[in-house]
Amino acid sequence: MARRHRVTPEHDAAVEATGKAYAAFNGNPAILNEARDLLIHQKELDELTVRQLKQLLLNAAEGPMTNPDLVAKRVPAETKQASMLNSFAFKLNDQKITANEIDNKLEKSTDLNERKAVWEASKESGPALKPNLVTLRDLRNGVAKEMKYPDYFSLEVAAYGMTADEMLKMLEAWMATLRPLYSQLHTWAKYKLAEKYNQPVPKKIPAHWINNRWGQKWPGLVEAANIDTYFEGRKPEWIIKTAEQFYTGLGFSPLPESFWKKSDLYPLPPDSKRKKNTHASCWHIDLENDIRSLQSIEPDARWFFTAHHELGHGYYFKAYTRPEVPYLLRIGAAPGFHEGVGELIALAPSQVPYLQSRGVLPADFKPNKTAFLLDDALARSVPFIYFSCGVMPHWEADIYAHNLPPDQWNARWWKYVSDFQGIESPSPRGEEFCDAATKTHINDNLLIITIMRSPPYLSFNCTITSRARFFINRRNHVTMPTTRTSARG
């Protein structure tokens, strides 16, 4: 599904035509049959060839022309879903409100009635997106079965070299390992929020108490780590240029000039008639040098971190765009590995030494190290695991692998939100809603693109940080602090 910066009937038609051409090329039955025949003899082939053949089959699975009627139905359905998602107009009290404005109100408002209204406004897209998502569930399962997979969830998991059961068991084991830490953070957060809103301490955290629309991250809870005021007076252009400088400071080359000409990086003016997807993303258009990003950058800490994350995708694209990497394999080690790289990088700009080096924080700033570590845990890491490894993949497994009836979708979503995240809706959410569909990745045909982001970036961060400290200590023969580090040194 395209994350588009223009949503018009003309662009919808272009996207649909592109989808059909993609399916005709990648899903060509002759190519599929030849690839399968070659893989019968894979022991006689070198590893690189085998990997390319397997990836070819995974690419073909999005539009296998062994069943052209099925593909002919799916492509326009995917286009329709993307168009509705990208163009949806949120409203609060009958007035238009942007996604950035929703996020800003959730970050700043202390009025629980206002917060509830804003949170509910953020869920308005769900009912509009559900009917076609039901249609897509059946079409996506259809293409999976055409490619000899039992369901679409199993097809997407195959990109990780795993079965659906193996994936879910791995995620559950990962969450079980971190559950004691999550329980402590959850307890601290609900007491902090109850104090903030002058309410009794709840068993489950009401969703509208949290500054994130899905409760996937818990920013803004640690006052001593709030750095938004230090971005006042900055320009959005400074945010993205500083993010690029992070990478060039590590020795990478600058982004290509085409990135700055062809990307769509800033919010639309309030009176703009153009509509675009508001979910930040970065794209490798031609698997060579055409890298573009879609963002709506504003000068605040949230977009500062996001810009660094998105350029992490861009520089990962650049890292494997080399002659020795075949085009079929210029996709990252696994769908979630890209997100792991992006999230690992997103931790770096929160480090005080880096913020000081960029002039965000003054040189004499004395951080409360415990507060900044707690903010890292709440706003950029641990809660996200229980959303991306718990709620999303288990719900998607239910609707695709187990054909959960649509009249049970919202109840099942909130059961998982409660069980995994310890969060509850502020009021009953019946089946007239489809709160899962308010999340971009639920609508995307790459349905589990996010579920692996947390394990890589957390384990990488722990490993890299510990090794870096060991290296610095040995090299400089000094005792270094072991609480926080700067990725740029």
**DSSP calls for 429-466:** --TT--GGGGSHHHHSSSTTTTTTSHHHHHHHHHHHHH
92 lies in some domain: yes
pLDDT at residue 125, as a whole number: 96
Q: How far apart are the first and last CA of the chain?
A: 38
378 lies in some domain: no
Same structural domain for residues 149 and 19?
no
Q: Could you tell me the pLDDT band of residue 6, with boundaries at 50, 70 and 90?
A: low
Total domains, the chain: 3
Same structural domain for residues 55 and 112?
no
**17 phi and psi, to 5 degrees?**
-65, -40
Q: Is residue 60 over pLDDT 60?
A: yes
Q: Could you tell me the pLDDT band of residue 445, with boundaries at 50, 70 and 90?
A: low
Last residue of a domain, one of 39, 57, 80: 80
Looking at residues 122-149, what average pLDDT do you find?
Answer: 96
Same structural domain for residues 320 and 465?
yes
Same structural domain for residues 140 and 205?
yes
372 lies in some domain: no
pLDDT at residue 90, as a whole number: 95
pLDDT at residue 201, as a whole number: 98
371 lies in some domain: no
pLDDT at residue 486, as a whole number: 52
| Nearest of 68, 56, 55, 54 to residue 26 by alpha carbon | 56
pLDDT at residue 471, as a whole number: 33
363: which 2 tokens? 């040189």
Per-chain mean pLDDT for the chain: 88
CATH code of residue 195: 1.10.1370.10
374 lies in some domain: no
Taking a C-beta distance cutoff of 8 angstroms, is the pair 99, 278 a contact?
yes
pLDDT, tens only, 256-305: 999 999 999 999 988 888 888 878 999 999 999 999 999 999 999 999 99
Q: Which amino acid is at 448?
A: I
Last residue of a domain, one of 61, 80, 99: 80
365 lies in some domain: no
340 lies in some domain: yes
Same structural domain for residues 267 and 348?
yes
Same structural domain for residues 348 and 423?
no
368 lies in some domain: no
pLDDT, tens only, 8-47: 788 888 888 988 898 899 999 999 999 999 999 999 999 9
pLDDT, tens only, 332-363: 888 778 888 887 887 788 889 999 999 999 99
Distance, CA of 313 to CA of 338 (rounded, Å): 6
Q: How wide is the angle at C-alpha 247 spanned by C-alphas 245 and 253, nearest 5°?
A: 95
Q: Which amino acid is at 462?
A: C
User: For residue 67, what are the contacts with CB-CB under 8 A and spacing of at least 6?
Assistant: 142, 143, 146
pLDDT at residue 346, as a whole number: 75
Last residue of a domain, one of 60, 80, 100: 80
Distance, CA of 38 to CA of 21 (rounded, Å): 25
pLDDT at residue 451, as a whole number: 47
Same structural domain for residues 8 and 68?
yes
pLDDT at residue 468, as a whole number: 33
Per-residue exposure over 440-465, b if at least 16 CB sit within 10 Å of its own CB, e if not: bbbbbbebbbbbbbbbbbbeebeeeb
Same structural domain for residues 473 and 443?
no
pLDDT at residue 5, as a whole number: 55
pLDDT at residue 65, as a whole number: 92
Same structural domain for residues 208 and 98?
yes
Same structural domain for residues 187 and 261?
no
Same structural domain for residues 461 and 346?
yes
Q: Is residue 485 over pLDDT 70?
A: no
pLDDT, tens only, 76-89: 999 999 999 988 99
Give CA separation, 441 vs 129, 220, 381, 390, in Å: 13, 24, 18, 14
- Residues spanned by the domain of 40: 1-80
Same structural domain for residues 106 and 189?
yes
